[in-house]
Structure 1
Amino acid sequence: MRWFGFGFNEFGQIVGREQDRSDAANEVKVVHPTEVTRVTKCRCKVPREILQVRTSWSTRLSLHSTDDSSGAFLDGFRRLGSKCCGYIEQSRGCKDAFNMNGSLMALAFQDRIDIWDVQKESGPVVWSMDVEPSLDNSDPPLQLPLVSEGYIALKPPFYRPLSPHLKAKTLALGPAHAILLGATGAVYTWGLGSHGQLGHGSLTSEEEPRAVEALWGVPMKAVAAGGWHCCCISEAADLYVWGWNESGQLGLPSRGVRKGQEENICGKAAQCQDADVLPDDGLTHKEEEKEIFISIQAFPALLDLNPPCEIKAVSCGSRHTAAITTEGNLYTWGWGQYGQLGHQNVLSSDEPQCVEFFREHQLCVSDVVCGVWNTFAAVVKQEEREKSPLLQGL
């Protein structure tokens, strides 16, 4: 499995400056999907494969398998004066990692959860919690930020308890809101609701988890949280979206995005005609008045992709969204000013569009992780996916 990244690269999250001396390493905007580089200069064994990517605004954490298959360790890129930190050898044996705000990261080991501050000179560990290994193998292990009987928050207090009746299966955190998937497929949200990101039909906040009633009776299998929006996938592989749509991140008509598209078209047309003013027949404004633009979608809305397809995974950035179909195609939409949509330009879109790069190279996308302003996609070759029933389920 290989990982590609595109979008914001100011801190070397996609193309690390110490790993790649090419011009691409100095690009703030990586608009072409670029394979994520791997560090080879370290005292520990060279990683075999990147298992997982977790990202925040200024960092990327990559969980690796090792040559001796004894566990996993982690590498991250972070601006430390003029330096970047690479492999963190003490993370060997780490089973899961969660990229937090600032210089913080959470690491899950077999017997404990650690929160590290990589900029802390006196030692990286700032908080730790012992955990007991589960003896019940029937349920999948909890993934960060979920931990036993609670979750890891982005700021102190780091441990936040959850009511036992929720029976949490998956949790996703936005900057100031959370979305939780229960074992029965019910969805709960809480936190800041100023942009409709809680899906309760209002702009009010919630201090405690509250069920999204509009989805009641429709079992879900995945959830994702962005800057001010949320998404979830039903058991029937339908995609639901809600929250802020200022940049088209919900895939619904956005006035700002349409205006930007019109300005881009008019600018190109003006260049082709030596800046002559194009005639205005008056139809554009009339059509705009008829079209309904959505700034805030406070209730979950069913989003259909064109052509119709089933969704198996979704991830949210600050103001963009990415989803994988069961066929292994990647669709993106929303704010694209750093190239985070993968369409090899810096245009925004309020309509889901397929990232053609992967189809052109006969690559199937198996996982996607959105950073704040960038996107990372795990891929396998088409022929490998067709030969392996396990990969077909990814």
Structure 2
Amino acid sequence: MLATFNSSWFKLLGIFTLNQTEVKAFPMRWFGFGFNAFGQICVHEELIKGVWSDAVNEVKVSTPTELDNQVDTSDCCLTTGYQIRASWSRRASLHLDGFVSNESCGKPMKESRGCKDAIVSESYLTLAFSDRLESWDLQKKEQTPSWSMKLKPHSSGPPVNLPLVPGGYIAMKPPLYRLLSPHLRAKSLALSAEHAILLTASGAVYTWGLGSHGQLGHGGLTSEEEPRAVEALWGMPMSCIATGGWHTVCVSDGGDLYVWGWNNSGQLGLPSQGLRKTLLQQSSQLAGAPCQDASTTPTEEPEEEKHEEVFISIQAFPALLDVTPSCEIRTVSCGCRHTAAVTTTGDLYTWGWGDYGQLGHQTFISSDEPQRVEFFREQQMRVVDVVCGAWNTFAAGVKEEVA
């Protein structure tokens, strides 16, 4: 039972699923970068040596580092195929065999045997099986789930796609089970701590929850208790959705990326005044010069050359973001204040808050412009998936075939 496992296991949870045919054809390698205070990235000592000089920097991983997937198979036989999901302090794997395993101690969770899907928050782990749902309270050492629900066979409908469940969805805090109208025909759902975005079978987008930072995309800052259609996207079918702390993104069927919500750290990929001020102050300090008031325009600039840049603090309507002039986006994920997107050509782009190295550019600099993570190009790898924790990023890559 859960009480028999090391308590540190619960500090490193996260999860998901993978098609076995895809694993055999495209052996994926997962890499992590960003916040590592709980060992989510499991950086090897030999990789740390000579790179980081103090304990503080060991919390930060700015270079994509391959995850250690050494699994203790003494109790069961696990395949190498797996995927990742993460919360702020948790990261784990869901193997093809239907086991959730902790990456630090390598022991599979016996209660997860036969698991088809899973989601995790800081407080709860929810497992989906073919016949039931189980939620475990991660703050307690109980030997039984804190909540469970029986499921009918999937023969008459699609399988469970957490956090969606029959008749509703699993929330991040109690009450865990929330109802959804069947008229929405929900296909997928993304949750933040305070708002939600839903994608319907027809490609329409609905949002609800807290709207104080424009994260609902309805043009205002008001909250919504019930799902409300994002009218600005009406008639443009979407294929992928994601949500961060106070921002939301989605990808259209044609590969266009739409963003809205809070942009204080440049997480929308739009010009951020707050971020520009911070970068200017940092550059002034590094140069050894007095920190100039970033809100003023340099007096030495000729009057005729002055121009006022438009900054976006809150984007309350969906805005089309051109990551590059010609690329199409295949999938996207959001951290608390950063965003990561994978193109159809296998490139990974990141932007937003980068203080923990979660942008993967081998720096701790934030950016309000999408930038390609060159590491994967240098390793001749094509990125096929990306999953963001609150302050870190996990990307899956496959080796490019050499003609």
- Per the TM superposition, whether the score is higher than 0.5 is yes
Alignment partners' CA distance in 1, 2:255 and 2:83: 23
Q: Which runs of 5+ in 1 are unaligned?
A: 66-70, 79-83, 387-394
Alignment partners' CA distance in 1, 2:67 and 2:90: 13
Deviations 1:344-371 (A, max 9, x none): 1100000000000001101111110010
2:71 corresponds in structure 1 to: 40
User: Is contact 1:96–1:144 with CA below 8 Å preserved after alignment?
Assistant: yes
Cα displacement (A) at 1:10: 0.5
User: Is contact 2:71–2:103 with CA below 8 Å preserved after alignment?
Assistant: no
Alignment partners' CA distance in 2, 1:112 and 1:294: 45
2:353 corresponds in structure 1 to: 335
2:86 corresponds in structure 1 to: 55
1:158 corresponds in structure 2 to: 176
Deviations 1:97-133 (A, max 9, x none): 101223x111111111111124432315111111112
Tell me the matched-pair count: 365
Alignment partners' CA distance in 2, 1:307 and 1:206: 35
- What TM-score results when the alignment is normalised by the length of structure 2? 0.84
Letter paired with 1:15: C
Summarize the alignment of residues 199-214 of structure 1 with structure 2, pairs less than 5 Å apart.
199-214=217-232
- CA gap of 1:288–1:172, structure 2 versus 1, over 3 A, is farther
Q: Is 1:106 paired with 2:133?
A: no
Aligned equivalent of 1:75, options 97, 101, 104: 101
Cα displacement (A) at 1:13: 0.8
Cα displacement (A) at 1:90: 1.9
- What TM-score results when the alignment is normalised by the length of structure 1? 0.86
Alignment partners' CA distance in 2, 1:309 and 1:174: 28
Q: Which runs of 5+ in 2 are unaligned?
A: 1-27, 50-54, 293-297
1:81 corresponds in structure 2 to: none
Q: Is 1:11 paired with 2:51?
A: no
User: Is contact 1:3–1:50 with CA below 8 Å preserved after alignment?
Assistant: no
Q: Which runs of 4+ in 1 moved over 4 A?
A: 20-23, 275-278, 284-289
Q: What is the SS of the residue equivalent to 1:184?
A: coil
- CA gap of 1:211–1:287, structure 2 versus 1, over 3 A, is farther
Q: Is 1:120 paired with 2:147?
A: no
Letter paired with 1:75: S
Cα displacement (A) at 1:259: 1.7
Structure richer in strand, relative to its length = 1
User: Is contact 2:331–2:386 with CA below 8 Å preserved after alignment?
Assistant: yes
Letter paired with 2:212: S
Identical residues among aligned pairs (%)? 59
- CA gap of 1:77–1:37, structure 2 versus 1, over 3 A, is closer
Cα displacement (A) at 1:260: 2.4
Alignment partners' CA distance in 2, 1:76 and 1:260: 37
Q: Is 1:300 paired with 2:318?
A: yes
Deviations 1:152-193 (A, max 9, x none): 011111111110110000100011100000011100000000
Letter paired with 2:130: Q
User: Is contact 2:62–2:364 with CA below 8 Å preserved after alignment?
Assistant: yes
User: Is contact 1:11–1:77 with CA below 8 Å preserved after alignment?
Assistant: no
User: Is contact 1:187–1:211 with CA below 8 Å preserved after alignment?
Assistant: yes
Aligned equivalent of 1:234, options 241, 244, 252: 252
Alignment partners' CA distance in 2, 1:286 and 1:29: 44
User: Is contact 1:63–1:96 with CA below 8 Å preserved after alignment?
Assistant: yes
Q: What is the SS of the residue equivalent to 2:133?
A: strand
Q: What is the SS of the residue equivalent to 1:135?
A: helix
Letter paired with 2:39: G
- CA gap of 1:264–1:41, structure 2 versus 1, over 3 A, is same
User: Is contact 2:128–2:160 with CA below 8 Å preserved after alignment?
Assistant: no
2:5 corresponds in structure 1 to: none
Aligned equivalent of 1:89, options 110, 115, 121: 110
